[in-house]
Amino acid sequence: MLQDWLILFPELALLGFLLAAWLINRYRTVNTPKTFFTLSKYFLLAAILGTVVFYNKSAFPGLWVNTPYSTLFKIVIYLLALAWYYLSSKWFLAKNKSSYQFYNLVMLALLALELLISAASLLLPLVLVPLLCWINWRLLRLYTDPDEIRVMSRLYAFLSWLFILLLAGGIVLIGSRAGTFDCAGVFAYFQNRGALALADYAAVGMILASLLFMLAIAPFHSWYLGMLTYAILPVCGFLTLIPPFAHLSCLINLITNVFGEAGGFMRLVLIIFAAFSLFVGALSANGAANIRRLFGFSSVYHLGFMLFSIVSFNHGGMLSAFAYMMIYLLAMAGVYTVFLGLKSRGDFLANLEDIDGLSNAKPYLAAAFLIFMISLTGTPPLLGFLGRLSVINNLVVDERWVSVGVLLLSILFMANAYLQVIRTIYFEPVKHNFDRTDKAIYICLFINLILVMISIINPTYLLQDAEKILSGVF
């Protein structure tokens, strides 16, 4: 019994934060925006510790199971969360707003995500996905003008409900057909079943649709772009960096431990969605005037890119997708860190034309931005090249030539979008005065760049352990 409670330490730590934060918010009068970050930091560290210690222990194996695989993903999202929470506190400090709601919501989201990663029963997503949707909805409304976001808020609510219903429908359908909601049981059902029935496909389709919605894969990406347009910067960063990684883990889990190939259905759907994401993301990024939307489309693009690798349904594909995701996250974390440095007269800049001539005013910030963008295009010798190399290599090994061609062509369109940004910050004359950038931003950028440098010089350290863990997946 005690052991079970100990195994639940990470979850309890995250829940504990919620309680502690409430208490502090309620009873402590002098709270700064940093207070809740500091609090979250300790609980997060505790969660990390607990996750590492109990990496293969499970308190409720019927609901969720901790494995080295899930631990890997959890550690990554915890670390990302730690970094982003720290940087978000700078935003709240700059705006002099309370960060209580934000940290509350994101820690709750983190809890939901980490449970989702370890889900061993389909019932868990049934509970967690609506929770996550609700959290997203609340995050959208955080410190935004209610009139401005009314439409978006309602739209998101509508879409969320639709996909929650789809998810619920799918889970119930498959549960009834398989006779169980347990992932292993469902997996056995699909393995033993020869030809799938229409209901089986429908169930898989509904579940997959909702997961793709959560991942913001085109054409289900609009809510994500809308969030980026209206939400505050800490929320944008959170939505870009943390949930996709968790949902990716979920998707891999679905493929490997629940549905398998589902008679080729998964592969077909994922391929089409991946191609759609690729081109919608790349082409739309070219027309974006808002840099957050631009990088939002870029995220859609990169997720599509990575999906192409997952579709191999083999060890190589998973490893390359993981590598790509890691590298993408490093670069995007850097990009969002730069966003925190783009301030003029107290406002955080979001339009492309607002950052004209950034290199003249803030050369180091611009340089870091440049490095991250070039990394995102996959240009050597930066880290992004490693990601591109992994994915393309995997496709070549599988001799999927058309996919290779599609991916390589899409890179050109995406590169053009980044070139627009580079042109803006380097080739245009400066038009605004930029506010002084917090040293912490520079420190974070520096650390990020060091990681990038080390990774490109010795990539093995980044991938070796992951390779061992992921090889166990298949």
Partner 1 sequence: MILQLFLNLLLVSALALLIVQTEHRRVWTALLLVLGTLFAWHLTQIFPLHQHETAVFSWISYPHLQASLNLSTTHGLEMMLLPLGLTALALFYLNMVYPHENSRIGVNVLVLLFVAAFILLAGSRDFIQLLVGSCSYTVLGFYLINQPADRQKFVFYNFLAEMALFTALAVVYSKLGTISLDQLGAYQAEGYHKDLVALLILVAVVAKSGLFLFQNQLLDWQELTFNRVMTLSFLTTPLAGMLLFAKLQPLLLISPFAIPLFKVILVMSLLWGFAGALVIDNIKAKALYLNLMFYSFAFAWLEQVPEALENGIFYVMGAVAALNLLLVMVNISSSNEHYISLMGGFGRRIKLTLLLSILGVFVFTGCLCRFYTPQLYHIFIPYLGLTLMALAHIGYNIYFGSEHADERVSALLKNAGFIYGLPLFAGYAAAVWGLKLYACGWVWGLTGAALLFSLSGALRFLNPLADNEPLQEADWMSRIYHSLLLLPLRMLGRILWLAVDFVVIERTVIGSISETTALLVRGLQRIQSALWLNNLLMLLIGLGIIIFAIGYCYA
Partner 2 sequence: MHSPFQLLSLIVALPFFGLLFVLTVKDDPKTESRNAFNVCIFTILANILMIWRVFMVLDEQSRHLQLQEHFNWLSTPDINIIIGVDVFALLLILALHLAVLIGLSGVRSNTCKQKSLMVFTLLFLSMATGFFVAADIFSFYLFFEAMLLPVFMIIGMFGEVRKTGLIYRYFLYNFLGAIILFSAVMIIYHFHGALTLEQFARTELRPGVRYYIWGAVFISFLSRIPIWPFHYWISSINSSIRNPLAFIITAAIPLTGIYGFIRFLPAQFPLPVAQYAWWVDIIGAVTMLFIALIGFSNKDTQYKLFAYITVYYIMYLLGVFNASELIRINIGYSLFSFVLIAAALEVLTGYIYHQEELYESGTRGFLCKVKRLSFSYSYLTIAAIGMPLSAVFLNNFLILSRLLASNIKMGMVLIASLTLVGAMLLQELFRLKVDNPDCPVDAKDDISKPMFWFMLFIMFVLLMTFIKPLWFVIDE
Residue type at position 111:
L
Q: Tell me: does residue 168 bind partner 2 (CB under 8 A).
A: no
Q: Tell me: does residue 222 bind partner 1 (CB under 8 A).
A: yes
Interaction partner, residue 415 (partner 1, partner 2, none; CB < 5-8 Å by kind):
partner 2
Q: Tell me: does residue 276 bind partner 1 (CB under 8 A).
A: yes
Instruction: Indicate which single residue of 122, 255, 392, 406 sits in contact with partner 2 (rule: CB under 8 A).
Output: 392
User: How far apart are CB 290 and partner 1 at their closest, in Å?
Assistant: 12
| Residue from 329, 341, 343, 408 nearest 368 by CA | 341
Report helix, strand or coil for 290: strand
| Burial class, 26, CB count within 10 angstroms (exposed 0-12 / middle 13-18 / buried 19+) | exposed
* Contacting range for partner 2; rule: CB under 8 A; set: 100-108, 143-151, 260-268, 459-467: 459-467
204, 269 Cβ separation under 8 angstroms? no
User: How far apart are CB 411 and partner 1 at their closest, in Å?
Assistant: 14
Per-residue binding string, partner 2, 145-164, x by CB under 8 A, is: --------------------
Instruction: Please report, in angstroms and rounded to a whole number, the separation of the first and last CA atoms in the chain.
Output: 33
| Torsion sign (Cα): 261, 110, 14, 126 | negative
260, 169 Cβ separation under 8 angstroms? no
212: left (phi over 0), alpha (psi -120 to 50) or beta: alpha
Q: Tell me: does residue 196 bind partner 1 (CB under 8 A).
A: yes
Q: Tell me: does residue 162 bind partner 1 (CB under 8 A).
A: yes
Per-residue tokens: 394: 């995997």
242, 110 Cβ separation under 8 angstroms? yes
Q: Tell me: does residue 411 bind partner 2 (CB under 8 A).
A: yes
* Contacting range for partner 1; rule: CB under 8 A; set: 6-14, 37-45, 200-208, 302-310: 200-208
User: How far apart are CB 248 and partner 2 at their closest, in Å?
Assistant: 19
Q: Tell me: does residue 419 bind partner 2 (CB under 8 A).
A: yes
Please, which residue, 147 or 399, has the CB nearer to partner 2?
Answer: 399
In this structure, what are the phi and psi dihedrals at residue 343, rounded to the nearest 5 degrees?
-130, 140
Per-residue tokens: 156: 């998101």
DSSP-assigned letter for residue 347: E
Q: Please, which of residues 282-341 interact with partner 1 by CB under 8 A?
A: 283-284, 286-287
Please, which residue, 152 or 366, has the CB nearer to partner 2?
Answer: 366
Beta bridge partners, 344, equal 347
Distance CA 408, CA 293 (A): 23
88, 102 Cβ separation under 8 angstroms? yes
Question: Applying CB under 8 A, what is the total number of residues that bind partner 1?
Answer: 36
Q: Tell me: does residue 427 bind partner 2 (CB under 8 A).
A: yes
CA dist 407 to 60, 94, 316, 452, Å? Answer: 42, 41, 17, 23
Please, which residue, 62 or 264, has the CB nearer to partner 1?
Answer: 264
How many angstroms from the chain centroid is the CA of residue 153? 21
| Residue 219: cis peptide before it, omega within 30 degrees of 0 | yes
Instruction: Indicate which single residue of 197, 397, 402, 443 sits in contact with partner 2 (rule: CB under 8 A).
Output: 397
User: How far apart are CB 393 and partner 2 at their closest, in Å?
Assistant: 5
Per-residue tokens: 68: 């080295």
Tokens 């940093």 label which residue? 34
Q: Please, which of residues 413-452 interact with partner 1 by CB under 8 A?
A: 413
Q: Tell me: does residue 100 bind partner 2 (CB under 8 A).
A: no
The residues binding partner 2 (CB under 8 A) are 316, 319, 359-360, 363, 370, 374, 379-381, 385-386, 389-390, 392-393, 396-397, 404-405, 408, 411-412, 415-416, 419, 422-423, 426-427, 459-460, 463-464, 467
Residues that bind partner 1 (CB under 8 A): 151-152, 155, 159, 162, 196, 198, 201-202, 205, 208-209, 212, 218-223, 225-226, 262-265, 268-269, 272-273, 276, 280, 283-284, 286-287, 413
